[in-house]
Structure 1
């Protein structure tokens, strides 16, 4: 409740140090505040308590309270209500082309390449709040998993459902995967169009040459970030299928056509990355996230409700009561 409450000039609170000093001063001077009469003896007078004399300090208390109210008013208390409106000028359209060939089940990333990618890509998608994102799967052939959409729940659900399957033709058709992604972006009117192409192999199948697909990307003003996924050297990869249908693993040499991926990135004014671990993969997506920024304008509207006026009125009221008492009940004729 107090999070939107503030004092504009809190330095005036130092004046509260005067309050105890004034109270001490009054304590020592209280007997000199009224007229006194000295006589030799009071035996002839009947003793009777005077309640007005006991209440006289009330006027000084009222004055101290009025002073305190004035100090609070000088500190200018107020409440602040702030509303924010965020406007995105033009978003970015991003298509993530993901290799789903059997080699993506290699265990050099934990738990395997495909699952590591899905985990990192999900965080990337959540960060792209104002952008449209689509998904393309490819192995020996390619297809659109999710068209461009701003509904992140749909994209995240589609990403989660990506698994290796035998329905898609085997192999790695980088050209087909890139061409399908270009096809999803060619009609886009976004200020920036981006493809994140990820593979862990070499282009060994498909009907479209990756170089032709990259030239198509250039023609439609699409930037391609390429990622080679896999450790250097050997990796535990699927080498066969057991009788129960599960994969048999063995050590195989990691082969990634880095020269091709670098050429695609260079041709389209993108950038090539090599992800050899989960940490490196996460850093790559963070770098891409930082490179591709969406223009966002944030408008803040602030409403101030000034609260000093009630304190001023309270101080005037207390002083008025003090003056009224001084010239009525506590009026002195001496």
Structure 2
């Protein structure tokens, strides 16, 4: 809410130029109306200064002040309070299906693919305050980590805690991950439903064929953007588990079924992107953010507090006070 002071008709301030003219006219008229008497001597007369005579110009000053108050009232002073409210007129529901297989620990993105992805997705979530977003993670099997929600703090907290673990079966079940995301969106009443499907490998496990999952997305009117993450060629990736439980790394070829990802995107009306480094990954999510805009309707409420009445009342009070003085205290000097 913002509060501002303004004059609706400031052109009336030009009337203040009349005040110097009125003052000069008053001085000239007063000099003309002062009677003079010439005598040879004032001996025998009692002389003294009458304080009422000296205060007589107060009447004219009150008239000037009253006129000034009327001019300010004519300029129409007021304060303006504005309140802006926004309303989402076209909501978007987005589910991000994220590959959490062991290969997501590869270090071709810094510090690794998973951490780079989490940082970028967090930025994406913060940039969409008016949409509902859900998180699905998959490896050899898939499950919903966070259902569709507009609670961004919950999303960010859930995203931050995502990490590779051996709780779910190993492998890359792209079809299962996509099917789970479709299941989260199929009953959505949003005008636009979007899945962002990310993987760094090929579909090598799971009970659902990715093509069947993409047909389900088409049936429910869901658009799928697909992202392949990983450098071209070789990448330092986990190849074994050491006795202490940590991973042993080695250079392995990067394999992404790009044709499958392109087919899924094309069939559902989305697009396929390839992220070979951190910067490209960020640009991809920025591009999706631009492609899937949420329409926002803005309502502006304006409250005007008119203040001219106070100035009119002040002017009338001054005129009334001047009139009372003229017919009472200064009556004998008129």
Indicate the residue corresponding to 1:129 in structure 2: 129
Local SS of the residue matching 1:3: strand
Q: 1:257 to 1:2 in 2, by over 3 A?
A: closer
Correspondence 1:207-222 to 2 at 5 A: 207-222=207-222
Bigger shift: 68-77 or 260-269? 68-77
Aligned 8 A contact 2:2 2:82 in 1: no
SS of the aligned residue for 2:171 comes to coil
Deviating more after overlay: 257-266 vs 122-131 = 122-131
Asked whether 1:305 is paired with 2:305, we answer yes
| Structure 1: 5+ residue stretches without partners | none
SS in 2 for 1:162: coil
The CA distance in 1 between the partners of 2:11 and 2:254, in whole Å, is: 68
Structure 2 runs not aligned, ≥5 long: none
Residues 303-312 or 272-281, more deviating: 272-281
Structure 1 residues 242 and 62, CA gap change in structure 2 (3 angstroms): farther
| 2:24 alignment partner in structure 1 | 25
Tell me which residue corresponds to 2:254: 254
Matched, 1:51 2:54: no
Per-residue deviation, 1:183 = 1.6
User: Secondary structure at the residue paired with 2:202?
Assistant: coil
* Structure 1 residue 220 displacement after superposition: 1.4
CA distance in 2, matches of 1:327, 1:118: 86
Query: When the two structures are aligned, how many residues end up with a matched partner?
Result: 333
Deviations 1:146-178 (A, max 9, x none): 222333333222212111112222222211111
Distance in 2 between the 1:42 and 1:170 partners? 128
Matched position secondary structure for 1:325: helix
Q: Which residue of 2 aligns with 1:36?
A: 35
Q: Separation in 2 of the partners of 1:115 and 1:9?
A: 61
- Name the CA distance, whole Å, in 2 between partners of 1:209 and 1:106: 26
TM-score, with length taken from structure 2: 0.86
How much has 1:250 moved relative to structure 2? 4.2
The answer to which of 29-38 and 72-81 deviates more is 29-38
Distance 1:151 1:2, change over 3 A: closer
Instruction: Tell me if structure 1 keeps the 8 A contact 2:2–2:83.
Output: no
Partners of 1:253 and 1:13 in 2: CA distance? 80
Aligned counterpart, 1:225: 225
Deviation, 1:320, is: 2.3
Give the 5 Å matches for 1:56-95: 56-95=56-95
C-alpha distance in structure 1 between counterparts of 2:319 and 2:13, whole Å: 20
CA distance in 2, matches of 1:198, 1:325: 89
Change (3 A) 1:2 1:182: closer
CA distance in 2, matches of 1:18, 1:237: 87
**Shift, 1:31, TM fit:** 5.8
Q: 1:192 to 1:53 in 2, by over 3 A?
A: same
Distance 1:284 1:275 in 2: 7
CA distance, structure 2, for counterparts of residue 27 and residue 85 of structure 1: 56
TM-score (norm 1): 0.86
Partner of 2:201: 201
- The alignment's C-alpha RMSD in Å is 2.9
Residue matched to 2:161: 161
Q: Tell me how far apart the structure 1 counterparts of residues 198 and 92 of structure 2 sit (CA, whole Å).
A: 19
Q: Show the 5 A alignment for 1:87-166.
A: 87-166=87-166
